[in-house]
Amino acid sequence: MASTGAQTSGEYIAHHLQNLHVGHGFWSVHLDTLIVSGVLGLLSFGLMMVVARKAQSGIPSGVQNFVEMVVSIVDEQVRDTFHAKSALVTPLAITIFVWVFLMNAMDLIPVDFLPETAKVAGVEYLKVVPTTDLNLTFGMSFTVFLMMLAFNFKYKGVGGFLKEALTVPFGKYLFPVNLLFRIIEDIAKPISLALRLFGNMYAGEMVFILLAVLMGVSYWWIPAGAVLSLGWALFHILIITLQAFVFMMLTVVYMSMAAEHH
Amino acid sequence: MNINATLLGQALWFALFIWLTMKYVWPPIQKAMQDRQKQIADGLAAGEKGRQELEAAAEKVTLELQKAKEQANDILAQADKRAGEIVEEAKSSAKNEGDRIVAAAKAEIEQEVNRAKEQLRAQVAALAVSGAEKILKKEIDTKAHAEILRSLESELG
């Protein structure tokens, strides 16, 4: 903010909330979201692949130890919640936790650092936290939704799934109500997943932006703003971890509900 | 904040990363962890087995030691007894030997005595004959008086 004194506060905030996009209408894409999330994913999962390839059952190296720790925490949660047999659910949960955590962690980089660097490189807009983009959160929850449907069919069969949708919870005579309830319930799941993550991260990012605005008001505000930013960043470490965990946990719960008979 | 094709791109990224994790990350790590779990369990079991074996061995050692001590005591007692016997035997054989030597000596002495007596008798007979000769001034026919001489000799015995 301080370096862009010509902007008003409103312009500053709007600028921060603008994605780097190409194209028009629905067929436009947010390059910053795609690239940041993709790079984070490729780096983290690439690293995990390298570690996994060299994984040994003897005394694990430092990196392997760390990866195993993360993986086994997730696996423990999955085994507590998801009781059917599936080769997909644990990897899915690991992917969600690691990826969402790293994308959320982009929030901890000072708000102006990457956008201003990008501006020097000629990139006008850059929104560095991919999870503050609804497209990302809905992209993930939509994928989870599809897997939920697939699990329903796989573990209950078409007939079992239909029977459950029509007869639970009020019995067969109220099947229209049951079906309506089921549709609302299942659609609410991906929407709540996506909006929860988006809302938390968007709000967190907003607080950082507003603190940056505060520091831009006058030099007198810089110490207070710095202290508040630091405090919020420390608190945010908790939030980003928690949100990654919640997204993962709810996904596992939904998959478990899809796989088990009610 | 509009929904657009980014959503599809993100879904693709997501699917790719799930696939990578499912195919290349989770199975090897899970295998490594399970293998390690098994190794640790095996190691603990082996340790427990070793401890039990050690205990058994210690017990056996105590038992063997006790047995050996008992054996040693037995051997000592036997040796003591045997030594006593040997001493006794030596004593009795020495006594026998002594007795035998004493008896032999006594017999020899008796023999010597007899022989001396015999010589003495012969000499006395000769003396008596020569005395008688001197008395009678006449030679005694030893052949004719052999009977008398013999009775003299036996009288002297």
Q: What is the mean pLDDT of residues B109-137?
A: 86
| A76 within a domain of the structure (yes/no) | yes
Check residues A175 and B93 and name the one with the higher pLDDT. B93
> Does B108 have pLDDT greater than 80?
yes
> Does A4 have pLDDT greater than 70?
no
Q: Where are the beta strands (DSSP E) in chain A?
A: 21-22, 29-30
Contact status, residue B13 vs residue A33, Cβ threshold 8 Å: no
Catalytic one among A19, A200, A229, A256? Answer: A200
Q: How many domains does chain A have?
A: 1
Query: What SS3 state is found at B142?
Result: coil
| pLDDT tens column, A14-46 | 888 888 888 887 888 888 899 999 999 999 999
Q: Which of A124, A111, A126 lies closest to A212 in space, CA to CA?
A: A111
Burial class (CB in 10 A: 0-12, 13-18, 19+), B54: exposed
- Measure the CA–CA gap between A100 and A94, rounded to whole angstroms: 10
Q: Which of A71, A39, A37 lies closest to A55 in space, CA to CA?
A: A71
**Predicted pLDDT of residue B1:** 53
Q: Which of A239, A238, A243, A248 lies closest to A97 in space, CA to CA?
A: A248
CA distances from A37 to A5, A67, A78, A261 (A): 31, 20, 24, 36
| A4 within a domain of the structure (yes/no) | no
> Does B5 have pLDDT greater than 90?
no
What type of residue is A143? T
Percent above pLDDT 70 for chain A: 97
Contact across the interface for B6 and A34, Cβ inside 8 Å: yes
- Measure the CA–CA gap between B70 and A164, rounded to whole angstroms: 83
| pLDDT tens column, B140-156 | 666 767 777 777 777 77
Contact status, residue A29 vs residue A22, Cβ threshold 8 Å: yes
> Which of B2, B14, B34 to mutate to probe the A interface, most A CBs <10 Å?
B14
pLDDT-derived band of residue A219, with 50, 70 and 90 as boundaries? confident
> Does A84 have pLDDT greater than 70?
yes
**Predicted pLDDT of residue A149:** 93
Q: Which domain holds residue A230?
A: 9-259
Which residues 6+ apart lie within 8 Å of A119 measured at CB? A126
| A43 within a domain of the structure (yes/no) | yes
Q: Which of A5, A31, A24 lies closest to A125 in space, CA to CA?
A: A31
| A174 within a domain of the structure (yes/no) | yes
Window A:82-101, CB contacts with B under 8 Å: 87-88, 90-92, 94-95, 99
pLDDT-derived band of residue B139, with 50, 70 and 90 as boundaries? low
| pLDDT tens column, A190-203 | 999 999 999 999 99
DSSP state for residue A30 in the 8-state scheme: E
| pLDDT tens column, A140-192 | 999 999 999 999 999 988 988 888 888 888 888 888 899 999 999 999 999 99
Percent above pLDDT 70 for chain B: 94
In chain B, the N- to C-terminal Cα span, in Å, equals: 169
Q: Within 13 Å, how many C-alpha atoms sit on residue B53's CB side?
A: 6
- Measure the CA–CA gap between B80 and B87, rounded to whole angstroms: 11
Residue B43 sits at the chain A interface (C-beta within 8 Å): no
**pTM of the predicted model, to two decimals?**
0.74
| pLDDT tens column, A110-142 | 888 888 888 888 888 888 899 999 999 999 999
Residue B77 sits at the chain A interface (C-beta within 8 Å): no
The label of the residue with tokens 């936790």 reads A97
Residue A218 sits at the chain B interface (C-beta within 8 Å): no
- Measure the CA–CA gap between A104 and A131, rounded to whole angstroms: 6
| A1 within a domain of the structure (yes/no) | no
H/E element, A21: strand A21-22
CA distances from A49 to A86, A245, A258 (A): 21, 22, 29
Residue of A nearest to B31 (CA): A57
The label of the residue with tokens 């650092």 reads A113
**Predicted pLDDT of residue B68:** 96
| A87 within a domain of the structure (yes/no) | yes
> Does B89 have pLDDT greater than 90?
yes
Residue A178 sits at the chain B interface (C-beta within 8 Å): no
| A136 within a domain of the structure (yes/no) | yes
Q: Determine the length of chain B.
A: 157
B36 to chain A: which residues are within 8 Å by CB?
57-58, 60
**Predicted pLDDT of residue A260:** 85
Q: Any catalytic annotation for residue A192?
A: yes
Contact status, residue A4 vs residue A16, Cβ threshold 8 Å: no
**Predicted pLDDT of residue A1:** 43
pLDDT-derived band of residue A6, with 50, 70 and 90 as boundaries? low
> Does B122 have pLDDT greater than 90?
no
| A89 within a domain of the structure (yes/no) | yes
Q: Which of A115, A122, A105, A101 lies closest to A212 in space, CA to CA?
A: A115
